[in-house]
């Protein structure tokens, strides 16, 4: 029989089939005894899942709330402003991918180092990760300032929406390095097992974003519903008392202020060492070996995320090509995404908890316990997200009415949420396993599976069911052979792909190759 610290735990231990009255007790002791250093030391697996997941869940909720607040305020301005914020959301997703890619490498390396009891290595990884995130994000920020008008033209927005988008992107681009530091710093803390301080950071970020954006935008908060005669009935429940009326500029300045405060708070805690890793000045000098290790794990995640981003950007183009488009359709698409995001937050939090546990258990030589953590987190996420999917199916219009006052949003967004609600359980499976395998360092395979799912299934299905012809300028169009279901058809394709994604990552989990990856 293998010892708790051995790398080759038997399959019987993994499946609880070893027999005898002591089998469960042996596994429980192994869960407690395996992680001997860091903030998870001495915790059972269930306790560790709870300690990691609930702060990440709340933190993720608050992260999504930043974007939701921007979208809601924009919807209070106009349909054009909502379209601009919707387009900007995809650009900001790309911006955050820089910090996230570095963060994936940081989480994997920090968690492995903590699992092995190598604190000095964890500290070095944290410092080099922040340095890499800062430099890479600065390059992206400058590029975004220069290319903002080109992005607006490619998206085929109305003149008002294009002007708002360029303004928003250029203002927020100046603070992109702060966003990179914020995301990478939070990833380092998570890898060390500290999920509470990242939560506090996001509470502060949201408070700053909400107050500053609302104060400067001049928007009053309201609820809109469809009356008996089909008319939109608007009721203001929180008038804006501030003397500013900056519109989309005020929303952008709120985002910048939130990133600045969040980055400062993360750096302060890392410098004090209260997150489980310490940021030391001497570690900030570029170290080629550590930088290459972070990049080796993080770059595949960046390429994976870039592939996903490009795929979803092409979906945005499909929406823009729709003959019935015009102002409002893109906004409806984004509002539905913002609402659905609150459903997959439990899946994301469970995935991040599984990522940290997988890294620390693998670092301690217990691949069997890493697999057990992934299974438990996946079932929890599937149950919660499946239940939230029922809410999308049963009461979508009530949810959308809180977020937008525009009739076209009230017409389309509830239909999209009903489609999304039907696939939340398989969405959870794919989301948790994919996130956890990244944390284990299996980023290359995750990248390839994501690309296959995105470009072989997601994009073709979204285009086919949309009924939209692809314009080729003077060369004509590529005719669509599918049904003309418009925006609803796009979501049928997008949500159908989530089922395929769950099968792909479930297969990788069963294969077990993610256990043997070296970082």
Q: What is the pLDDT along the chain (519 residues), one digit of tens a residue?
A: 333 333 333 333 344 434 455 656 666 676 665 666 666 777 788 888 888 888 878 877 776 676 677 777 777 777 777 778 777 877 777 777 777 778 878 888 888 888 778 888 888 888 888 888 888 888 888 988 898 888 888 777 778 888 888 998 999 988 889 988 998 898 888 888 887 888 888 889 888 988 898 889 887 766 555 556 555 556 666 777 788 888 889 888 998 999 999 999 999 999 888 878 888 878 888 888 888 888 887 778 778 877 877 888 788 888 877 744 455 777 788 788 878 877 888 888 899 889 888 888 888 888 888 899 999 999 999 999 999 999 899 988 887 877 766 777 788 889 999 999 999 999 999 999 998 998 788 888 999 999 999 999 999 999 999 988 887 777 878 889 889 898 899 999 999 999 999 999 999 999 999 988 876
Is residue 352 a contact partner of residue 433, using CB atoms and an 8 Å limit?
Answer: no
Q: For residues 486 and 467, give the distance between their C-alpha atoms in angstroms, rounded to a whole number.
A: 6
CA pseudo-torsion sign 74, 338, 178, 83: negative
**Cα angle value 394/396/401 (rounded, 5°):** 140
Q: Quote helix, strand, coil % in the chain, to nearest 5.
A: 75, 5, 20
The length of the chain is 519
Q: For residues 343 and 61, give the distance between their C-alpha atoms in angstroms, rounded to a whole number.
A: 10
**Cα angle value 195/197/199 (rounded, 5°):** 70
Q: What is the pLDDT of residue 222?
A: 61
Is residue 517 a contact partner of residue 358, using CB atoms and an 8 Å limit?
Answer: no
Q: Is residue 491 part of a domain?
A: yes
Count of domains forming the chain: 1
Q: Is residue 18 part of a domain?
A: no
Q: Is residue 401 part of a domain?
A: yes
Is residue 20 a contact partner of residue 9, using CB atoms and an 8 Å limit?
Answer: no
Q: Is residue 252 part of a domain?
A: yes
Q: How far is CA 449 from CA 16, 298, 302, 367, 430, in A?
A: 30, 16, 14, 22, 11
Q: For residues 343 and 1, give the distance between their C-alpha atoms in angstroms, rounded to a whole number.
A: 42
Q: How far is CA 453 from CA 164, 381, 450, 456, 496, in A?
A: 33, 21, 5, 6, 11
Backbone angles phi, psi at 322, to 5 degrees: -65, 135
Q: What is the pLDDT of residue 267?
A: 92
pTM of the model: 0.68
Q: Is residue 146 part of a domain?
A: yes
Q: For residues 371 and 514, give the distance between their C-alpha atoms in angstroms, rounded to a whole number.
A: 10
Domain that holds residue 466: 30-516
Q: 468: helix, coil or strand? A: coil
Q: Is residue 380 part of a domain?
A: yes
Q: What is the pLDDT of residue 73?
A: 78
Q: Which two tokens stand for residue 355?
A: 């990522």
Q: Is residue 15 part of a domain?
A: no
Q: What is the DSSP letter of 242?
A: S
Question: Which residue, 216, 207, 270, 282, is CA-closest to 246?
Answer: 216
Is residue 403 a contact partner of residue 68, using CB atoms and an 8 Å limit?
Answer: yes
Q: Is residue 23 part of a domain?
A: no
Q: Residue 475: how many CB atoms within 10 A of its CB?
A: 7
Q: What is the pLDDT of residue 425?
A: 94
């Amino acid at each position: 029989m293998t010892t708790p610290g051995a790398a080759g735990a038997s399959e019987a231990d993994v499946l609880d089939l070893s027999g005898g009255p002591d089998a469960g007790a042996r596994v429980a002791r192994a869960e407690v005894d395996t992680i001997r250093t860091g903030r998870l030391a001495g915790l059972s697996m269930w306790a560790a899942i709870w300690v990691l997941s609930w702060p990440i869940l709340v933190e993720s909720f608050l992260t999504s709330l930043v974007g939701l607040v921007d979208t809601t305020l924009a919807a209070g301005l106009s349909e054009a402003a909502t379209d601009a914020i919707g387009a900007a959301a995809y650009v900001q997703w790309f911006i955050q991918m820089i910090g996230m890619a570095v963060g994936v490498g940081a989480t994997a390396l920090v968690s492995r180092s903590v699992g092995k009891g190598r604190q000095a290595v964890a500290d070095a990884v944290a410092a080099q990760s922040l340095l890499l995130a800062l430099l890479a994000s600065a390059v992206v920020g400058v590029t975004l300032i220069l290319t903002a008008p080109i992005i607006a033209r490619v998206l085929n927005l109305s003149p008002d929406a294009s002007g708002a988008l360029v303004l928003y992107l250029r203002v927020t681009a100046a603070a992109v390095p702060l966003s990179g530091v914020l995301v990478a710093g939070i990833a380092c803390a998570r890898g060390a097992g500290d999920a509470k301080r990242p939560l506090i950071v996001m509470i502060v970020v949201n408070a700053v974003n909400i107050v500053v954006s609302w104060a400067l935008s001049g928007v009053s908060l309201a609820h809109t519903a469809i009356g008996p005669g089909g008319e939109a009935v608007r009721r203001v429940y929180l008038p804006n008392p501030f003397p500013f009326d900056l519109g989309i500029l005020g929303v952008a300045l709120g985002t910048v202020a939130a990133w600045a405060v969040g980055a400062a708070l993360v750096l302060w805690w890392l410098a004090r060492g209260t997150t489980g890793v310490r940021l030391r000045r001497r570690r900030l000098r570029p170290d080629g070996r550590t930088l290459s290790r972070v990049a080796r794990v993080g770059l595949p995640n960046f390429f994976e995320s870039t592939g996903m981003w490009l795929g979803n950007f092409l979906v945005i183009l499909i929406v823009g090509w729709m003959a019935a488009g015009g102002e409002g359709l893109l906004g409806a698409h984004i509002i539905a995404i913002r609402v659905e995001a609150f459903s997959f937050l439990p899946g994301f939090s469970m995935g991040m908890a599984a990522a940290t546990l997988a890294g620390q258990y693998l670092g301690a030589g217990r691949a069997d316990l890493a697999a057990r953590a992934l299974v438990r987190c996946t079932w929890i996420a599937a149950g919660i997200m499946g239940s939230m999917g029922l809410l999308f199916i049963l009461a979508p219009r009530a949810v959308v009415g809180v977020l937008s006052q525009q009739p076209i949003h009230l017409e389309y967004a509830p239909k999209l949420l009903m489609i999304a609600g039907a696939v939340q359980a398989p969405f959870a499976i794919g989301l948790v396993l994919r996130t956890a395998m990244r944390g284990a360092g299996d980023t290359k395979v995750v990248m390839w599976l994501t690309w296959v799912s995105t470009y072989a299934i997601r994009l073709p299905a979204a285009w086919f069911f949309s009924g939209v012809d692809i314009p080729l300028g003077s060369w004509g169009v590529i005719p669509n052979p599918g049904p003309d279901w418009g925006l609803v058809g796009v979501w049928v394709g997008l949500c159908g792909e989530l089922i395929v994604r769950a099968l792909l990552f479930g297969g990788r989990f069963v294969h077990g190759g993610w256990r043997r990856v070296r970082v």
